Amino acid sequence: MSFALEQQMVLLHCANCGVPFAITTDLENRRRNDHANFWCPNGHTNAFKGETETERLARQLKYAQSARDDYRDRLDRKTRQHNAAKGQITKLRNRINSPSHPTDDGDGS
């Protein structure tokens, strides 16, 4: 019995002994994403520890969201301070403009 099999493989070199060996592209993708161990033909443990593109983008997104939240908090704080200052100005303006407020344009002294 015989059969033909076409399989995409990727050539790797053991990080420890340097022996070349091949794994399927599917296994390579899974190991790059899950960072799990795999072994060279000589039994050395290998793993893809580098950050994947998805992980890098997720990390950048998280950073951007955190920065956005910080800016939003700062904006809220500044808006509250601005509104409080406006309230104080209005309060003082109303006090100055009230009829009971003494003015210097009267008889002086």
Q: Site residues (CB under 5 A) for Zn ion?
A: 14, 16-17, 40, 42, 44
Q: What values do phi and psi take at 33, rounded to 5? A: -80, -35
The nearest distance, CB 38 to Zn ion, in angstroms, is 11
- Paired strand residues for 39: 45
The nearest distance, CB 52 to Zn ion, in angstroms, is 23
Question: With respect to Zn ion, which residue has the nearer C-beta, 17 or 64?
Answer: 17
What is the C-alpha to C-alpha distance for residues 58 and 40, in angstroms, rounded to an integer? Answer: 31
Phi-psi region of 34 (alpha: psi -120 to 50; beta: other; left: phi over 0): alpha
Question: With respect to Zn ion, which residue has the nearer C-beta, 39 or 63?
Answer: 39
Query: Is 38:26 a contact under the CB 8 Å cutoff?
Result: no
Question: With respect to Zn ion, which residue has the nearer C-beta, 41 or 87?
Answer: 41
The nearest distance, CB 28 to Zn ion, in angstroms, is 16
